Amino acid sequence: MVNLIDRFGRIHNYLRISVTDNCNFRCFYCNPNSAKDCNTGKDSLLSFEEISRVINLFSSHFGFNKFRFTGGEPLVRKGFIDYLSDIQKLKNKLNFKVGLTTNGYLLSYYLPKIIDAGIDYINISLDTLDRIKFKQITKIDVFDNVLNSIYNTLDYGFDNLKINVVVMKGINDDEILDFVHFAITKNINIRFIEYMPFSDNDWNKEDFFSYFDMKSIIETKYKLIADNTNNNSVAKDFILSGYNGKISFISSISEHFCNSCNRVRIASNGDFRTCLFSDDKKSLNFKYLFKNGFDDNDIALKVIEMINDKWEKHPDEISLKKLKSNNMFMIGG
């Protein structure tokens, strides 16, 4: 076992796997306008056996101890829920933690199986507490299903639930204090995420709402106390003095956290990505490697080569827009 360390001394131990780029929502900031559906043909997706092989490889070669399933929407991939029992077996053998990021629509239905399979962390995305706005953002009228998924997950006594809120000026920046109230009354962690530019979304600077502005709004009413208990977190975590709940900020644009990055990704088409925004010069596709008979030692060497080339930090937001190969719904956040 070797640590997967890059030129800047960052040790990588966390892999996020996008299991599909298909989704039952059409959030305009992620998969906008023409809303191309699943670009990744069924034959290009990693099979569940291949996903297990990837996990085994990163765990045994590089000591990875955390994996997350994302998408697209992971819960729309056929067979995914049943596959979680294989993950449970792998977890018992290799000892790692597993997270799931979901839009929450189908979560209530599958929750018992997901919790039984020993999923350690669940993140549910919810950008508004207003039913009408919800439909405008996601293009689907299932606000109540998502809210119920949150309540049901809490009723299960599941502790590691986070709610992801992408904050956009003129869309939901007026709801920041409502979300804080939600965090307090439900005693949960709300994570406010800066709106990020991708080649396929309509991001522009006017829609951007910075972490500083979000924090200032909250501080008009609450005292935020920094919470540094989670060293591995890319989020800035805070407790609300005198109240339940927790608030976090993901300030990818205004104050990047690249110097503490410990994560790599596999997009829905099997592409290995050293950064969410990466413009990797070399490419590495796991589907290709598996199909062409590369063994795990060969693949591990190729991963090390890619990590040696990982950039120190991602470029500014304007340059990010120009990177043509990036789509959030393929990479998974």
> Cβ of residue 144: shortest distance to ligand SF4, in angstroms?
16
Cβ count near 322 (within 10 Å): 10
The residue range among 2-10, 20-28, 109-117, 203-211 that interacts with ligand SF4, by the rule CB under 6 A, is 20-28
Beta bridge partners of 167: 194
The residue range among 70-78, 129-137, 234-242, 311-319 that interacts with ligand SAM, by the rule CB under 6 A, is 70-78
Partner from ligand SF4, ligand SAM, none contacting 274, C-beta within 5 to 8 A by type: none
245 near ligand SF4 (CB under 6 A): no
Q: Amino acid identity of 302? A: K
Partner from ligand SAM, ligand SF4, none contacting 270, C-beta within 5 to 8 A by type: none
Q: Which of 322, 324, 306, 182 is nearest to 245 (CA)?
A: 182
DSSP 10: P
Note whether 260 and 250 are within 8 A (CB): no
22 near ligand SAM (CB under 6 A): no
- Cβ proximity to ligand SF4: between 80 and 222 the closer is 80
Candidates 13, 40, 103, 326: give the one binding ligand SF4 (CB under 6 A). Answer: 103
**Per-position DSSP letters for 27-89, written without gaps between them:** -TTTS-TT-----S-TTTSPPHHHHHHHHHHHHHHH---EEEEESS-GGGSTTHHHHHHHHHH
Beta bridge partners of 285: 271
Candidates 13, 20, 31, 326: give the one binding ligand SF4 (CB under 6 A). Answer: 31
DSSP 23: -
Partner from ligand SF4, ligand SAM, none contacting 40, C-beta within 5 to 8 A by type: none
23 near ligand SAM (CB under 6 A): yes
SS3 content of the chain, % helix, strand, coil (to 5): 35, 20, 45
Note whether 162 and 248 are within 8 A (CB): yes
Partner from ligand SAM, ligand SF4, none contacting 31, C-beta within 5 to 8 A by type: ligand SF4
Partner from ligand SAM, ligand SF4, none contacting 189, C-beta within 5 to 8 A by type: none
The residue range among 23-31, 43-51, 106-114, 244-252 that interacts with ligand SF4, by the rule CB under 6 A, is 23-31
Judged by the rule CB under 6 A, the positions of this chain that interact with ligand SAM are: 23, 29-30, 70-71, 73, 101-103, 125, 164, 166, 193, 195-196, 198, 201, 328-329, 332-333
